[in-house]
Structure 1
Amino acid sequence: MDVQTWTYIIVGVSFALYIGIALWSRASSTKEFYVAGGHVSPLANGMATAADWMSAASFLSMAGLIAFSGYDGSVYLMGWTGGYVLLALLLAPYLRKFGKFTVPDFIGDRYYSNKARTVAVISALFVSFTYVAGQMRGVGVVFSRFLETDITNGVLIGMAIVFFYAVIGGMKGITYTQVAQYCVLIFAFMVPAIFISIQLTGNPIPQLGFGSNLTGTEMPLLDKLDGLMTELGFTAFTDGSKSTIDVFFITAALMVGTAGLPHVIVRFFTVPKVRDARLSAGYALAFIAILYTTAPAVAAFARTNLMDTVNDKAYDEIPEWFGTWEEAGLLAWSDKNDDGLIQYRPGKLFSEKGPSFQEGKGKYGQRLLNNEIDQSSQNELFIDNDIMVLANPEIAKLPNWVVALVAAGGLAAALSTAAGLLLVISTSVSHDLVKKQLMPDLSDKGELWIARGSAMLAVIVAGYFGINPPDFVAAVVALAFGLAAASFFPAIFLGIFYKRMNKEGAISGMIAGLGITVFYMMRYKLGWIGGPTSSDDWWFGISPEGFGTVGMLINFAVALTVSRFTPAPPKAIEEMVEDIRIPSAG
């Protein structure tokens, strides 16, 4: 069977499974909708947390980003995995002991203020909508290739699926759906990695194959890759080009951003006891490590195979996968020197973010571009970072069912995280804004209806951002982590470990941290303030992906300063904080 038939079968079966689970476990109360009733086992919660955590950025984009940036991509590995450890050990058990539904719920009660709650709701919406844009973009990339539709239609299909099981099932439905999605995505990621590791190095363990010699030679894989890249003018795969300060700030933003992500934190409210929160965090870390330790190997395999397969080859001799991704609008070639050969070199093919195609084909059969071609570089090839994991099995000539399996895994990763984020948006509006502030007498049934309505509206907005994303998946997600670092982390950390922190300090810190970070991202990432910019304009050489660390430091400084010159919190709040920090036997 061809790839598309296999895709319809495997994706169709997985979608039917997700919808069936959502119907079986649909929420009938707000507690089930928000925290799955608080009765999820640590093992199931660990798998669900891993699926929630390993988004389209982890599955689709991280390995692609490492494939093209090499050593510089390690910031994502260090930041995201280190951040999860920080969250699991430093914050999760205490938040579970507090026993609320959401992060804004914690901030509102800890800082005895609806203003603090409102600022937290706004922060949650900023973080979640930025993050979910990356997920919907990932869904569109998968559908555009494997169901042979454009990205817009792919995003619309993804919206419909997420709407169904997030709105009907709530956290209860999402939790058990995510258990299934974890199984799908990790199997889909590992199977081609194992196949390609055997193919290239003879070692069935990708993590070891990454450092092994190529089959039948004494040359290590990474030495060959470094040689290929330097020969063509690229920076060696194992060398970095980012400044030390930017690497540090991006890694820190990803770490503390992870510890402030509301859709991951809320997962620890779904288990019965504090001990279960710690145990599920351990399970999740083990499940996450399987993918994260494999991603660098997948990146190296993909870049090696790509350069061997495409570079300096005649267009009419390259494999079928090249043309298929061209048709999907995620790969393009322009023959600058009219020799019929594909020259993959440093530099951009064109200045725009993605290709715009004309009708018809060129003399070699290639898609013709509307884009203005950049003649200042020798590069003739455009490759979207987000396709590398999906294209890797095709480039390596693996069986069609493996190619389709990877498509199902990419969808599982994107949809699982999108559902968790949509629930955060829904609960922030229905519980923290409407129930806690605007309509305190609202019935449980009425709150549930508002939660579902909020989720429906959130799906629509998320779809828009998925169709019009500011960048590729991992970069969009990195911005969300920066926003979480600048807003939530200081308020949560100080709320747990500093009894003297008061509402004035927390509110001022969150506004200052979030405000400066949003400004920086709008100015230097989106170009909405002052027009287009370059990396030469960055403050202190810090990229928008790393600026969340600056926002966090500003948040801490403002919060601590303001709290020193304003009244201490009530005695009851200080006693509550003390109680949260006391270890529990349960």
Structure 2
Amino acid sequence: MDYSVIIAFVIYIAFMVAIGGYFYKKTATVNDYFLGGRKLGAWVTSMSAQASDMSGWLLMGLPGAAYFSGLSAGWIAVGLGVGTYLNWLIIAKRIRQYTKVAGDSITLPSYFTHRFRDEKGVLSMICAMFILIFFLFYTASGFVACAKLFSSVFGLSYHVSLIFGGVIIIAYTFAGGFFAVSWTDFFQGILMFFAIIIVPAVAIFELGGPVDFVSEINNINPNMFAVFKNADGSTLSFIGTISLLAWGLGYCGQPHILIRFMGISSPAEIKKSRRIATVWIIFALVAATLIGMVGRAYLTTPLDAVTSETVYIEMVSAMFPGFFGGILLCAVLASIMSTADSQLLVTASAITEDFYKFFNKDVSEKQLMWIGRGSVIVVAIVACSIAANPESSVLGLVAYAWAGFGATFGPLVVLSLFYRRTTLRGAIAGVIAGGVTTIVWQQVALAMNGVGIWGLYEIVPGFLISLAVIVIVSNLDRAPSAEILEEFDRYTLCEE
């Protein structure tokens, strides 16, 4: 075992935990713990948003898909790139403004509660329930990626690696909350950016340059560069293409990304953050797709369906032995931690703010913070149990959770910001319709082996049905109160 790689990991992990410890004393209120008191700057907001967005699938799931399918897997990247930009352009500033006006909300469910004057807490409870369901799978994907990383690098068993990774992520999330998560994600986003560019660039250089790389891939399989064909020569169907592009629909419903918009210091900072995030995402997605394709030419030992998601790890191990290689491998840990910590925090905030506080109105700030910290541990343990199967796919788990959030919350987020006629009953019906459609569609699709229309990514029917249900029910319902309409008409003026 290369001890310099171990040293690199120890230094990196110690740095992340130290950040959590530093912000432990700076976290005095629930608002601080779950939203950082709305004090994030443009750079931290953009980098932490993108780092928490990408997760372990950026350096494992997407390269693994490109390793097998070739350039056709890049349609996911196109959908995500467009979705990222539109999310920053259309949603970011408005949700920052509205959550401030609507009761200074610190979670997505609490925003919906204040936005629609949900005095009985029905919508908030339903939202919290779906957050708990889908984030368990999303967080599990991070633990799967973490276990595969430690298994590949250190030769540990899958389950030992799973526990080890879980303990690390829990440590700094438990201590520092939103501040720790955002600042660790900032540094992790920088590391991910440079690592994901360096690896394919050096590999192509070692293969003789771009021309020789293209020639080598064509010799292996000319279908690798086909945009509308899979590597096995089968044509990528219309439904398949739409399903890959539809990943972009999910952005407006991801609580762990939206909370970064809510936590920025001022709406005026959004424009700068958007530019930083756009540059980051373009380079990251292109490089991640390229890693999978370069891996087909660079690695001498072919990878199978289970090990294909370790293509980045195998390339780094072959190209960069020693301490520097260890730092590049830490980028995988960074991509995992930067999302898993955010998901743990959002899930804990839903349990604390939207479950516990609802039934215990007189609970103190200190008690709420410790309940939130305890929730982080409980959620992590459950997620680890879901991730216990070594055959689990990072991309598969992410795809299901991403669709769940996109279809459940995306339509309501958009309409709550742009459609003043949206009502509480419409919101409740839409959230239920989107969440249930996603779950049912995915189960039926598995039973039908994805044949025909059942090959369509569940986010598409879920999003469209939820959107339609919200509009129809809202228009059949009586109009919102004058108070709600007045707040809607003035929320865009908020610049605090």
| 2:186 aligned partner | 179
Question: CA offset at residue 63 of structure 1?
Answer: 1.4
After TM superposition, give the deviation of residue 6 of structure 1 in Å.
Answer: 2.3
Match of 1:268 in 2: 261
Other-structure match for 2:470 = 559
For residue 43 of structure 1, what is the amino acid of its counterpart?
Answer: W
Give the match's secondary structure for 1:40.
coil
Contact 2:444 2:454 in 1 (8 A): no
CA offsets 1:81-127 (integer angstroms, 9 cap, x no match): 21111211111111111222111111121122211111211222233
Residue in 2 aligned with 1:424?
A: 346
SS of 1:467 mapped into structure 2: coil
Tell me if structure 2 keeps the 8 A contact 1:42–1:277. yes
1:107-186 matches, within 5 Å, as: 107-113=112-118, 114-186=121-193
Letter in 1 for 2:250: G
Instruction: Report the CA distance shift for 1:223/1:576 in structure 2 as closer, same or farther (over 3 A).
Output: farther
Q: Deviations over 1:29-83 (max 9, x none)?
A: 2111011121121112222222212210112221121121113311220122211
Cα distance in 1 for residues equivalent to 2:404 and 2:32 = 28
Higher Rg of the two aligned structures: 1
Structure-2 residue corresponding to 1:33? 33
Q: CA deviation at 1:236?
A: 6.0
**Alpha-carbon offset, residue 239 of structure 1:** 4.4
Structure 1 511/458 Cα, relative in aligned 2: closer, same or farther at 3 Å?
Answer: same
CA distance in 2, matches of 1:469, 1:258: 28
Distance between the aligned counterparts of 2:391 and 2:442, measured in 1? 10
Structure 2 Cα separation of the partners of residues 201 and 170 of structure 1:
47
Q: Is the 2:123–2:428 Cα contact (8 Å) retained in structure 1?
A: yes
Query: Equivalents in 2 of 1:421, 1:10: separation in Å?
Result: 26
1:86 aligned partner: 86
- Asked whether 1:225 is paired with 2:217, we answer yes
- Counterpart check, 1:386 vs 2:309: yes
1:399 aligned to 2:314?
A: no
Q: Percent identity?
A: 22
When residues 42 and 564 of structure 1 are mapped into structure 2, their CA distance, relative to the original with a 3 A threshold, is: same
Structure 2 residue 243 is the aligned partner of structure 1 residue 249: yes
Question: Which structure is higher in helix share?
Answer: 2
**2:119 is equivalent to residue 103 of structure 1:** no
TM-score by length of 1: 0.78
Indicate the residue corresponding to 1:18 in structure 2: 16
Q: Is the 8 A contact 1:505 1:563 kept in 2?
A: yes
> How big is each residue's C-alpha offset from its partner over 1:553-581, in whole Å with a ceiling of 9 and x where there is no partner?
1111111111121111111111112222x
Measured on the aligned residues, the alpha-carbon RMSD in Å equals: 2.1
Query: 2:272 matched to 1:279?
Result: yes
- Partners of 1:66 and 1:393 lie apart in 2 by 17
Does the Cα contact within 8 Å between 1:7 and 1:408 map onto a contact in 2? Answer: no
- Cα distance 1:382–1:495, how it changes in 2: closer, same or farther (>3 A)? closer
Equivalent of 2:388 in 467, 473, 486: 467
Gap regions ≥5 residues in structure 2: 230-234
2:439 aligned with 1:518, yes or no? Answer: yes
Q: Is the 8 A contact 2:52 2:342 kept in 1?
A: yes
| Distance in 2 of aligned mates of 1:127 and 1:85 | 24
Question: Does the CA contact (< 8 Å) of 2:66 and 2:292 recur in 1?
Answer: yes
> 1:279: how far off?
2.5
**Contact 2:144–2:392 at 8 Å: present in 1 too?**
no
After superposition, what is the alpha-carbon deviation per residue over 1:236-262, rounded to whole angstroms, capped at 9, x for unaligned? 65542331123113322x112122100
Q: Secondary structure at the match of 1:124?
A: helix
**Does structure 2 conserve the Cα–Cα contact (< 8 Å) formed by 1:50 and 1:285?**
no
Q: Is the 8 A contact 1:134 1:466 kept in 2?
A: yes
Aligned to 1:291: 284
1:58 aligns with 2:58: yes
C-alpha deviation, 1:426, in angstroms: 0.4
Q: What is residue 74 of structure 2 aligned with on the other side?
A: 74
- Corresponding pairs, count: 482
Report the secondary structure of 2:387's partner residue.
Answer: helix
Q: What is the CA–CA distance in structure 2 between the aligned matches of 1:55 and 1:281, rounded to whole Å?
A: 19
**Given the superposition, is the C-alpha separation of residues 478 and 469 from structure 1 closer, same or farther in structure 2, using an over 3 Å criterion?**
farther
Instruction: Determine which of 430, 436, 441 is the counterpart of 1:509.
Output: 430
Distance across 1 between alignment mates of 2:63 and 2:459:
23
TM-score (norm 2): 0.92
Letter in 2 for 1:87: N
> Per-residue displacement from partner, 1:268-295 (whole Å, max 9, x unpaired)?
1222111123322332222233322212
> Structure 2 residue aligned with 1:534, among 424, 449, 458?
449
TM-superposition CA deviations, 1:443-475 (whole Å, max 9, x none): 111111111111111111111122237841122
Deviations 1:364-384 (A, max 9, x none): xxxxxxxxxxxxxxxxx5552
Q: Relative to structure 1, is the Cα distance of residues 456 and 383 closer, same or farther in structure 2, using a 3 angstrom cutoff? A: closer
Match of 2:221, SS state, is: helix
